[in-house]
Structure 1
Amino acid sequence: MSNLKASTDVLVVGGGMAGLAGALALRENGADVTLVEVAPAFGEVGAGLQMAPNASRVLKRWGLLEKALEIGVQPKHLVFRDAITGEELTRQTVGGEFEERYGAPYVVIHRSDLHRILLEACQEAGVTLVNDVLVQKVETDGDRARAYTAKGEVFEADAILAADGLKSTLRAIVASDGPVNSAYVAYRGTVPITEETPAADLEDVIVYLGPNCHLVQYPLRKGQLLNTVAVFKSPSFERGEEQYGGVDELQAAYKDCVPAVQEALKNLATGIRWPMYDRNPIETWVSGRMALIGDAAHPMLQYLAQGACQALEDAAVLQDAASNRVFTAEGIDAGAWEDAFREFNETRAARTARVQRTARIWGESWHVDGVARVLRNMLFKSRGDNNFQYNDWLYGRNEPGAPAEVPAGAKLVEA
């Protein structure tokens, strides 16, 4: 085949969080891994993200948690407040008993910093990284899979991971669906923390809940930056407009909020807004020698702060499944990829579907008004600190669909 570009054990399509995590996990198993990315250079846009213990445990497994802690922040509490009155509704201490219960810390980190940590880990592990590659089609034929690019190149592999995100092209192989418009958009911003920055709450993740809007603030980069995210229901996005020419919608959404929220809006970068989509859960992520991973498989709304977390969980579970079936003590059994992908799919699909659906419901509860808001506030205020009944299913170490516990830095099979 004259246009054959490369042959590899595993081809990963997409260089975001899920792609890098999947590439690293399988490389640690001993696979020859090639990752292709459509952008001319690797990088990640956005601002902060929250790494709950179910994700930081995965970083710990790969020996990367300390790097995240060196650049990230461990908040003391998660705090929810009413955006109209400013009253505190509930808080969760995320050190001490919380960290001990879940086996890892809660960390907030800049998206670009986590992406860099994963990218550098892939480079050090020996993953082949190729930029400026647009994969348009994947075909699986018996024991091989092929990815066809816009430039006419063909990448061949024993297995392919499709990590091409929310608007995945390769998802069409297993599902005929599309992104779902949530009617909500986000503006984000990071600003330096200075002496003029109000000292209150700089050690916490703060969420203000308002009718049809909310606002999140927390520190980044060892307390040097303040991250702010404003999310609100957008009439223009409901009409299908991803971008919008002014900030009148933003200002109108928060007009009744307390001064602390109004002041925080000044931290936002208003040149671009982030339309919020997800997709409906699907049961099947696999076609032959190709499997979806991350947002390509289960894009979710941001209310549980689990998008990147679930991508890392995916990679760890796939690592376990491939170790059990493909990369065995007897050697590499390339013919077992279908079984490994099936185990991965069956282990993960129900859990991520629950996260997707719960994120939608959680977001709805944040944005209610009237009697529903009164009842929501009463429920939140009835919850005491270190009440884990709402956290265990998501953060617990042994929940169905979570990765198996592996010592930090352990490799399942030597390359």
Structure 2
Amino acid sequence: MADMRIIIVGGGIAGLAVALRGSSRDIVVLEASQMNKEVGALISLQPNASKIATKLGLDKYLGGKGPTRDKAFRIYNTDGELQAEIPSTERFGADRLVYHRADLHDALKQAATAIDGLGRPVRIIPSSRVMSCDSESGLVMLENGEHYSGDVIVGADGIHSTMRTIITGPDVSSPKPTGISAYRLLLDMKDVEKSRAFTSIINPREPFTTMVVGYDKRVIMGPGNNASLYGIVALIPDEHMHEASRSDSWTSNGSMKKLLESFAAFPEWILEVFKASGSSPALYQLRDIDPLESWVHGRMILIGDAAHAMLPTQGQGASQSFEDAEALREFLNDIPTPHTQAQIRKSLHDVFEARHERASLIQAYSRQQARPGTDMNRKRVTLNPAEFQEYNCAYEGARVWQAQQSSLKPIHTT
């Protein structure tokens, strides 16, 4: 009785989230990097994703990684006045959890490779750069000449996906500049608390995500890792930048001096916490992709940023990868053993049909929130933020979502 051979191209959050073991699965993850260093940043799982993590049995590995349970999203003006608070209510059935990115990655890796998990452990092979894939035969070729053959090929290789070009061609789905760049800072909480001006307005240990909006810019920040760390993302239109940002890496170094120049109009209580980091910020250019017409070709399917890269304005990037993982598991579970290729291809198309409309709408709303009123928004979503929070976080999985579509309030676009 042959196991289903699953090859996952990409060993990041999306690839490891979908590396879900089963009693009749042989799973290999091919990762281009050496996997010896994850980015030092905070990352969130929204309630829609933390519910899925529980459903997939990942709490055993994620729970010990010190997540911060976020209570609400707060919006301040530059005078330090609270303008709005959107609570993370219990009606969604789960918390919004904030992790250090490396901790989340390590937990997913442990879940995939632990000896005591369901079925055989996943094989993760680093330094395996994929050069080509025949999506009809399932043959994956590496840069070093090695090749792997699979019944299912999962393209989880991020926004600059090689696998995506196999479906769309190299020009159709290239990441598009959004006109916004982001500085990232990750601070030790003890350093943040040295800033009297900042802590007189914001208690950094309180489990709230805070956004400060002003002068066509925004600063989003909050605690993580059991409030031992404080993450900051400062978003700025490219035309107001004082240095060039790169589009190919979100880990390239920026200049603290240039960051402070770009946000010079902001009050000292914000600038003071920037300076408290004591290190150079990371700087990258925000890009996303337009919704694809298909994520599936032959026995290959795209997931995560390879399928629907989106801006971080809703914090849904990683969460949508978890939704992909749950959908793929649900529909692959329908396939009997032994299986046929026709059954596999049907299941992959079922995943796409279950996920495409939802992920595309979240892409559109993330883009709209980043630069409202600009021509980068080909369609406008008319739900307000509270309604869209409900749309995002009340999600209960691919099958439930499909069943609910006939009764859900229409999502209007213009």
Equivalent pair of 2:9/2:155 in contact (CA under 8 Å): yes
Q: Secondary structure at the match of 2:135?
A: strand
Residue of structure 2 aligned with 1:395, choices 393, 396, 400 = 393
- Match among 8, 12, 15 for residue 16 of structure 1: 12
The equivalent of 2:181 in structure 1 is: 185
Aligned with 1:233 (options 237, 241, 245): 237
Work out whether residues 232 and 250 of structure 1, in 8 Å CA contact, stay in contact via their aligned partners in 2. no
The answer to whether residue 86 in structure 2 is matched with residue 92 in structure 1 is: yes
- Superposed CA deviations along residues 67-124 of structure 1, whole A, max 9, x for unmatched, are 4344111122210112x33221211222xxx12x111111111111111110000001
Rounded Cα–Cα distance in structure 2 between residues aligned with 1:275 and 1:402: 36
Aligned to 1:333: 339
Instruction: Describe the SS at the equivalent of 1:191.
Output: strand
User: Which residue of 2 is the match for residue 264 of structure 1?
Assistant: 273
After TM superposition, the structure 1 = structure 2 runs for residues 299-318 of structure 1, keeping only pairs within 5 Å, are 299-318=309-328
Which segments of 5 or more consecutive residues in structure 1 lack a partner in the other structure?
Answer: 1-6, 368-382, 406-415
Structure 2 vs 1, CA of residues 291 and 237 (structure 1 numbering), >3 Å: closer, same or farther? farther
User: For residues 217-296 of structure 1, what are the structure 2 equivalents within 5 Å?
Assistant: 217-235=221-239, 241-242=246-247, 246-268=255-277, 269-270=279-280, 272-296=282-306
Q: CA deviation at 1:399?
A: 7.8
The answer to whether the 8 Å contact 2:7/2:27 transfers is yes
Corresponding residue for residue 406 of structure 2: none
> Does 2:32 correspond to 1:41?
no
Relative distance call for 1:400 and 1:237 in structure 2 (3 A) is farther
Q: Helix, strand or coil: the match of 2:235?
A: strand
1:368-387 equivalences under 5 Å are none
Structure 1 range deviating more: 261-270 or 350-359? 261-270
Q: Relative contact order: is structure 1 or structure 2 higher (C-alpha 8 Å, sep ≥ 6)?
A: 1
What is the deviation of 1:196? 3.0
More off after superposition, 391-400 vs 244-253: 244-253
Change in 2 beyond 3 A, CA 1:398/1:59: closer
CA distance in 2, matches of 1:154, 1:241: 32
Match of 1:355 in 2: 362
Secondary structure (helix, strand or coil) at the match of 1:255 reads: coil
- 2:326 touches 2:397 (CA, 8 Å); kept in 1? no
Partner Cα separation in structure 2 for residue 234 and residue 315 of structure 1: 34
> Does the aligned pair in 2 maintain the 1:183–1:237 contact within 8 Å?
no
2:156, 2:302 within 8 Å by CA — same for their partners in 1? yes
Say if 1:8 and 1:156, in contact at 8 Å, map to a contact too.
Answer: no
Cα distance in 2 between the residues matched to 1:237 and 1:167 = 26
CA positional deviation for 1:239:
7.3
User: Secondary structure at the residue paired with 1:85?
Assistant: coil
User: Which structure 2 residue ranges, 5 or more long, are not aligned?
Assistant: 375-383, 404-414
TM-score with structure 1 setting the length = 0.81
TM-fit CA distance, 1:65: 3.0
Deviation at 1:177, TM superposition (A): 2.3
Letter in structure 2 aligned against 1:86:
G
Instruction: State the one-letter code of the partner of 1:107.
Output: L
Question: How far apart in 2 are the matches of 1:191 and 1:111?
Answer: 14
> Which residues in structure 2 correspond to 1:45-56 (within 5 Å)?
45-56=39-50
1:392 Cα deviation after fit: 1.3
Structure 1 counterpart SS, 2:327: helix
Cα RMSD after superposing both structures: 2.7
